[in-house]
Amino acid sequence: MDLFVLANVLVMLALFALLYKMQRDHVKFTRRVFVALGLGVAYGALLQWIYGAGSATIAGSIEYFDIAGRGYVQLLRMIIVPLVMVSIISAILKLKDGESLGKISALTIGVLLGTVAIAGFIGFAVAHLFGLTAEGLVEGGREAQRAADLLARENTAQGISIAKTLVDVIPANPFLDMTGARDTSIISVVIFSAFIGVAALGVNKKQPELAAKFDSFMQVAYAIVMRIVTLVLRLTPYGVLALMTKVLASSNFSDILNLFNFVLASYVALMLMFLVHLVLVTLAGGNPWTYVKKVWPVLTFAFTSRSSAATIPLTVQTQTRQLGVPDGVANFAASFGATIGQNGCAGIYPAMLVVMVAPVIGLDVMSLEFFATLIAVIVVGSFGVAGVGGGATFAALIVFSALGLPNEAIALIGLLISIEPLIDMGRTALNVNGAITSGFVTSRVLGQTDMAVYESQQELELDMESVS
């Protein structure tokens, strides 16, 4: 190991020791997360100032930082499938009928698809407002390689259609989907779990004693899985520190300045869509300021991890413990929201890119027909977008291919590689907030929200009792 790399790793270990001391001193969990976020920003910026962007020392250091950062994200992914399965099955067993299940699914998916359509419109409008265009972008070595990789993936995106998308979410091999082998795996696991729950309800009517045994088994399984979730969540401050250090140390600030207009436009669009979420929450009867305070911790983690799927456990916990959303609705919203209707990745980003590149090749993006087609494609293409880093790129490929844009236009996506991580953090936070919003609105429409929990003053804590 290089001496400088060793020194950087030792500093990281010292920061971990500081966070551990805070834990031993019983500093609040959320406060430790924010401290980790600030330390990561400061340490990452310091590393880049000392060694420079693209330094071999930084790259070598990040390999070791990833043990904590990526390792933490992988642990979160590890618990996604068992958490979704036991939560949904347990929630259905409590419903006692299939009618409520249908209403929850329809409302949740409806909110997600409706908001992604609005997100597409906002991305379209903001790109025009800022006058974004692909003209004048300079293609460097990394961008050229990224463009080549994207072109290689184009064939996958070209096969997307409404019918194929709907077929793909149906689980043919649920055990394969439990491995996360497909982009639609989480949705398929949700559907398979729903079948198990509904089947158990049927057994309960004919063989109640047998169904009672299954119910007891699920209660034990739920308790064990939630304990695993708690153990993993205790690692959140360390994971956030490592992830944020990596983002700041590896970002190219000169490229960010060169494309500052696109970065600014992206975050303006993200903030506008966040306001739309707050309007929906308000219309559903929730105080928007209370909502913001309570979801802020989970949005902070989503921002740093860049993974909607990895944030599912925290998304569920925030809805149930902070917003008063019942387990069934919370799990449906978090699971579907990780792969359907992602407002940032599948809505805003593809729309902005289309506005940038379509005029360059002579297309009239202001025509009503083109706009309607774009929004429709965004909505359909939002099915199955991976809830991990890179999902937005695949969503853009789907939209570009469906609109028939040529290879030259698709290759332009690669030119934004330098600023991709910076924007992706904001997109992921918006995706997660969209899932939470859909859960809250659905539960309010069904009259199932515990508003006493929502209006309580115990905000800004993800797990006050079990996370020490």
Q: pLDDT tens, 110-137?
A: 999 999 999 999 999 999 898 887 665 5
What is the model's pLDDT at position 408? 54
Mean pLDDT of 49-68: 88
Is position 85 within any domain? yes
Is position 395 within any domain? yes
Is position 463 within any domain? no
- pLDDT category of residue 257 using cuts at 50, 70 and 90: low
What is the tally of structural domains in the chain? 1
Is the pLDDT confidence value at 148 over 60?
Answer: no
Q: What is the CATH number of the domain that holds 150?
A: 1.10.3860.10
Distance CA 84, CA 331 (A): 6
- pLDDT category of residue 164 using cuts at 50, 70 and 90: low
Is position 464 within any domain? no
Is position 173 within any domain? yes
Mean pLDDT of 163-187: 75
Is position 121 within any domain? yes
Is the pLDDT confidence value at 467 over 60?
Answer: no
Least confident of 172-176, 225-229, 257-261: 257-261
Tell which wins on pLDDT, 462 or 186. Answer: 186
Least confident of 87-91, 273-277, 394-398, 435-439: 394-398
Mean pLDDT of 87-97: 75
Is position 184 within any domain? yes
Is the pLDDT confidence value at 359 over 70?
Answer: yes
Mean pLDDT of the chain: 81
What is the model's pLDDT at position 445? 94
**Domain of residue 344, residue span:** 3-454
Distance CA 32, CA 185 (A): 33
Is the pLDDT confidence value at 155 over 80?
Answer: no
Mean pLDDT of 268-295: 95
Phi (first) and psi of residue 46, to 5 degrees: -65, -45
Q: What is the pTM of this model?
A: 0.78
Is the pLDDT confidence value at 79 over 70?
Answer: yes
Phi (first) and psi of residue 190, to 5 degrees: -60, -45
Is position 278 within any domain? yes
Is the pLDDT confidence value at 436 over 90?
Answer: yes
Mean pLDDT of 337-347: 85
pLDDT tens figures, 7-46: 999 999 999 999 999 999 988 877 888 899 889 989 998 9
Tell which wins on pLDDT, 181 or 440. Answer: 440
What is the model's pLDDT at position 156? 47
